[in-house]
């Protein structure tokens, strides 16, 4: 699929649930978000029906997100169902890691090869503050389960907030010990925090990293993400990288769509424009209508995110960002 700006769209992020066992301050308000009713959420069979059409039209990479995807009952079955679709080349999953000790083995047996884990701090107090409901010990147990199970690559997502979790040194130490890809991500003022003063620009993150340790270039691991400038401490098994969606946005190379838990196809993380797929899935699947929706998505996908903050329509936790 090629949009009107000549970009090849070959990647879909699927939010399988709006529910989460954490309440990260940059993602969800403390009370959570209004929960969707069961009948409003796509069934696994509907997700698979949509993806069969999308893959036949050129999608080759899929990531499962949430909310917390491991919170959705039967998630291992969905992994198995998606991997059975001919033409899908890569399937990955983003999680906060809390439930990985329970699910890592089953996910690997179902065919999942790699995971991203949100790990906003390696300080127990800061982690508890940022996640509100989380324990660093539980998150690290999830990371250990991912390593022990053999997922590769394992990417750690760190949304950096100025004055809160902007000490990068513990993550560099982690790369000395584990084969993980730590990605420092600029805070996007789309969540409940809102304020721009939390943003630590990528240029500043570079300077912080360079001041902490000598770093050498490293190969970019397999994956779909926009992380750049992979570096490693000489001899370390892990790497660090930067994702700069605000100060060095990657709109010209955007290759993705987002299928949300309620069946809406979101065309841009920062844009409220969505296309409802449910009329093409219920009461019966209409494959031609689904193809027409994908054509419409290619026509409507914006060239770039808005220049100024606006109404994003949903909380980050409901978008799977």
pLDDT tens per residue across all 321 residues of the chain: 999 999 999 999 999 999 999 988 888 877 777 778 888 999 999 999 999 999 999 999 999 999 999 999 999 999 999 999 999 999 999 999 999 999 999 999 999 999 999 999 999 999 999 999 899 999 999 999 999 999 999 999 999 999 999 999 999 999 999 999 999 999 887 666 666 789 999 999 999 999 999 999 988 776 656 777 789 999 999 999 999 988 888 899 999 999 999 999 999 988 878 999 999 999 999 999 999 999 999 999 999 987 655 556 666 766 776
Residues belonging to the binding site for S-adenosyl-L-methionine are 26, 67, 188
Going by the annotation, the residues of the binding site for [4Fe-4S] cluster are: 20, 24, 27, 251, 254, 268
Q: Looking at the DSSP assignment, which residues form a beta bridge with residue 90?
A: 61
Alpha helices by DSSP H, listed for 111-154, are: 124-131, 136-149
CB–CB of 223/237 below 8 Å?
Answer: no
Give the containing element (helix H, strand E) for 26: none
DSSP annotation string for 293-313: HHHHHHHH--SS--SS----S
Instruction: Report strand pairing: 274-276 vs 264-266.
Output: antiparallel
Gap between the Cα atoms of 203 and 200, Å rounded: 8
As given in the structure block, the two tokens for residue 138 are: 């539980």
Angle between helices 75-83 and 44-56 (to 10 degrees): 20
From the annotation, which residues make up the binding site?
13, 20, 24, 26-27, 63, 67, 94, 155, 188, 251, 254, 256-258, 268
Domains of the chain: 11-318 (3.20.20.70)
Binding-site residue set for GTP: 13, 63, 94, 155, 256-258
Task: Tell which phi-psi region holds residue 229, choosing left (phi > 0), alpha (psi between -120 and 50) or beta.
Answer: left
| pLDDT attached to residue 79 | 98
Q: Are 181 and 221 in contact (CB under 8 A)?
A: yes
């Amino acid at each position: 699929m090629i949009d009107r700006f000549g970009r090849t769209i070959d990647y879909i992020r699927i939010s399988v649930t709006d529910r989460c066992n954490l309440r990260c301050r940059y993602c969800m308000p403390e009370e959570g978000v209004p929960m969707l009713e069961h009948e409003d959420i796509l069934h696994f069979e509907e997700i698979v029906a949509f993806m069969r059409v999308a893959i036949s039209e050129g999608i080759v990479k899929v990531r499962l997100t949430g909310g917390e995807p491991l919170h959705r009952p039967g998630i291992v079955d969905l992994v198995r169902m998606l991997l059975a679709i001919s033409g899908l080349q890569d399937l990955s999953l983003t999680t906060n890691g809390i439930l990985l000790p329970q699910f890592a083995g089953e996910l690997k047996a179902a065919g999942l090869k790699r995971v991203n884990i949100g790990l906003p701090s390696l300080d127990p107090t800061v982690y508890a503050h940022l996640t509100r409901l989380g324990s660093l010990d539980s998150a690290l147990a999830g990371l250990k389960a991912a390593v022990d199970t053999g997922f590769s690559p394992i990417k750690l997502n760190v949304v950096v907030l100025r004055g809160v979790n902007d000490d990068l040194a513990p993550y560099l130490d982690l790369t000395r010990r584990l084969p993980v890809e730590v990605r420092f991500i600029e805070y996007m003022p789309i969540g409940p925090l809102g304020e721009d003063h939390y943003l630590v620009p990528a240029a500043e993150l570079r300077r912080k990293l360079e001041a902490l340790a000598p770093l050498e270039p490293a190969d970019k691991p397999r994956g779909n993400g926009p992380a750049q400038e992979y570096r490693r401490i000489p001899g370390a098994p892990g790497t660090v990288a930067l994702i700069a969606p605000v100060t060095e946005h990657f709109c010209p190379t955007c290759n993705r769509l987002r299928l949300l838990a309620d069946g809406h196809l979101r065309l841009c993380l920062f844009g409220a424009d969505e296309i409802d797929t449910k009329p093409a899935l219920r009461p019966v699947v209409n494959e031609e209508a689904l193809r027409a929706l994908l054509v419409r998505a290619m026509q409507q996908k914006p060239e770039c995110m808005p220049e100024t903050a606006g109404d994003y329509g949903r909380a980050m936790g409901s978008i799977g960002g």
